[in-house]
Amino acid sequence: MASTQHVLLSPAELAYLHEALSLTPPIRPDGRAPMQFRPLVAETEILPGTNGSARICFADGTEAIVGVKAEVERTRGYHGDEQEEGGEEEEEGGEERREGEREGQGEWVELTVEIPGYRDDDAGTAFLAAMLSEALLADGRFAKKLWISRRFHWKLFLDILLISPPLSYPLPLLSLTTHLALLSTRLPRLKSEGDEDPFFDDDWAAAPYLYPQGTTTTRPPITLLVMAVGRNIIFDPSKEELAVADVVLAVSVGEAATNSASTKGKGKAIGGMDIDSAAAQPGRSLRLLSVRTVDPPSRVTPPGMPNATNSAYGVAVSVQKQPEARTVEAQAVEGVWKAPRGGAKPAVMAALVQKVLERGGVADEVLDALEAVELG
């Protein structure tokens, strides 16, 4: 899909874009600052038939809608003959747990992405869906929220719909919409107790949020697209910008849970830890959940022809001696586009991730902005 799709730009355009984006500071074609996102219009709880929903659109008309639906499902693998303690071991690898603690499985969440103009089984769509669900399930905490009892759980269906064919790689748009939809998701209040058949309160107003409202709780992860051109790091790239990228990364971050014992803060009082981290440094503490390279379309762009070797250049079409193939390959002529080859230096990749994770950095501000979106 977008990562592999053929971007049709002329070599002269590519050379211009690459040059403009390599400047310090870069000049982006739409005039944005390197870390600036395209302005978004967002609303939540737009679909009354769902447990949670959200809509985000760009000024160019690209629009994503996410609907979250939940169903009660019988937990597979629970049989009456299991021992109380030992039987639970099979549900999730390794992690030690106290008695009675909830646990979840990745397959309780089903995430589908639908993009008009692309086949359902398109590799790019599968890649997008895998990336989004990977971030959601990475910490293993999300699935635990769906636990009802040892015999039942919620099965969550996240359906992500792009309304218009994508004008740019839709990953950040889909991720932010999913984030808002999950924030607005509510599950009916459970009235039954223990392992009996689940029984719910039919008062929707009393239904608790999947992510309880408030500041001390975790929030769904977000996935940001970030790319590098030369020494510049650019966020939320447009299609044209991606076409000249040296490397593109999709980085998923979540907010570190302040109310649960994280690996480091174990043993500390919850409240104390909260204040500690808040007082020590501004901004939230972020967890890195996943990183993926996105195949930049720049590698399949048409190369430009330097005037020196262009037979259609010059007044007289003299048969110019073709320079040696070696010099053509090695030399980069200014103003001529050449598709990049090879990969990216490890240091560049690390810098990209670092930029996302920075305290008070981009991910932080994006989360702030998302928090400001009113639910309902």
Does residue 38 contact residue 264 with C-beta atoms inside 8 Å? no
Q: Which of 47, 289, 89, 281 lies closest to 184, judged by CA?
A: 47
If the CB atoms of residues 119 and 208 are measured against another protein, the closer one turns out to be: 119
If the CB atoms of residues 140 and 230 are measured against another protein, the closer one turns out to be: 140
If the CB atoms of residues 14 and 210 are measured against another protein, the closer one turns out to be: 14
Q: How far is the CB of 295 from another protein (least distance, A)?
A: 4
> Helix, strand, or coil here: 22?
helix
Q: How far is the CB of 208 from another protein (least distance, A)?
A: 19
What b-and-e string marks burial along 315-332, b requiring 16 or more CB atoms within 10 Å of the CB?
eeeeeeeeeeeeeeeeee
Q: How far is the CB of 133 from another protein (least distance, A)?
A: 9
- C-alpha to C-alpha distance for 173 and 132, rounded to whole angstroms: 11
H or E segment and range at residue 369: helix 362-372
Q: How far is the CB of 46 from another protein (least distance, A)?
A: 9
Q: For Cα atoms 75, 222, 73, give the angle at the middle one, nearest 5 degrees.
A: 15
- C-alpha to C-alpha distance for 172 and 224, rounded to whole angstroms: 5
Query: For residue 224, what are its two tokens?
Result: 């940001």
If the CB atoms of residues 132 and 162 are measured against another protein, the closer one turns out to be: 132
- C-alpha to C-alpha distance for 364 and 237, rounded to whole angstroms: 18
Does residue 188 contact residue 197 with C-beta atoms inside 8 Å? no
Does residue 259 contact residue 216 with C-beta atoms inside 8 Å? yes
Please give the backbone phi and psi of residue 277, each rounded to the nearest 5 degrees, phi first: -70, -35
Q: Which of 4, 7, 59 lies closest to 32, judged by CA?
A: 59
DSSP, residue by residue, 34-60:
TTPPPPEEEEE---TTSSEEEEEEETT
- C-alpha to C-alpha distance for 42 and 197, rounded to whole angstroms: 38
Q: How far is the CB of 159 from another protein (least distance, A)?
A: 15
If the CB atoms of residues 232 and 293 are measured against another protein, the closer one turns out to be: 293
If the CB atoms of residues 139 and 146 are measured against another protein, the closer one turns out to be: 139
Q: How far is the CB of 137 from another protein (least distance, A)?
A: 8
If the CB atoms of residues 4 and 161 are measured against another protein, the closer one turns out to be: 4
What single DSSP character describes residue 202?
-
Give me the residue label for tokens 């939809």: 181
Residue 40 Cα to chain centre, angstroms:
16
Q: How far is the CB of 49 from another protein (least distance, A)?
A: 20
If the CB atoms of residues 27 and 269 are measured against another protein, the closer one turns out to be: 27
If the CB atoms of residues 101 and 365 are measured against another protein, the closer one turns out to be: 365
If the CB atoms of residues 204 and 359 are measured against another protein, the closer one turns out to be: 359
Q: How far is the CB of 34 from another protein (least distance, A)?
A: 9
Q: Count the alpha carbons within 13 Å of 159 in the hemisphere toward its beta carbon.
A: 10
